[in-house]
Amino acid sequence: MYKYWLIAQLFWQDSLVYRASFLMWRLRSFTSTLISLSVWSAIYQHQSQVFNYSQPAMLSYIFLTAILHSLILSTSLHSLANEIYSGQISFNLLKPINFMGMLISQELADKAINIIFAIGEINLLYLIFKPSFILPPSNTILIFIFWVALGIIIHFIINLLFGTIGFWSPDSWGPKFLFFMLIEFTAGKLYPLDILPQIIQKIISKVVI
């Protein structure tokens, strides 16, 4: 296990050295959450209930989804397709380590650094908006943790599948971008999905299934 801990440490250090893309990712996430909070705060200025949600409930939802977005959708597998296409993956396969274990170690390190930055961003947004949080019932915590863990695993597998595009082409960003935009809409990051018309909710459920 020690060598996988070293891999995670090296990935962490590499992310902090070559940090331009990482900072752009964090800036994008921060800006998206800032815009959502600004829009909903403006909507609630003249009314206390919108779509059966109070302002504290809606802002609590936005803050929670911002954390989940950083935890679930962050990934270290963006360059996998290019590594496969260029043949660079052969060097990793020849090393005396389990290749899947290496990917998982890097993924966990990536999520750790993203969640640390996300907590800092959430604290900054809290100082700006000063919302009143509504916490979910305590008896749902275990179910919540289970579904978050399942979401992390599913997203990791999906990114592995996108990485296999590298057997034919290094250009996997196009399909991944379309998938990411679909997730942005259907995962309810900007608003709860139950505020949408029923027909749209049915279409989304069919697409997701």
Name the pTM for this structure: 0.83
Lowest-confidence region among 13-27, 105-119, 130-144: 13-27
pLDDT of res. 146: 92
Give tens-digit pLDDT for 38-80: 988 888 888 888 888 888 888 889 998 888 888 888 888 888 8
Domain count, the chain: 1
Average pLDDT score over the chain: 84
pLDDT of res. 125: 92
Give tens-digit pLDDT for 149-197: 999 999 999 888 888 888 887 777 778 888 888 887 777 777 888 888 8
119: tokens are 């907590």
Backbone angles phi, psi at 191, to 5 degrees: -165, 155
Residue ranges making up the domain that contains 83? 2-208
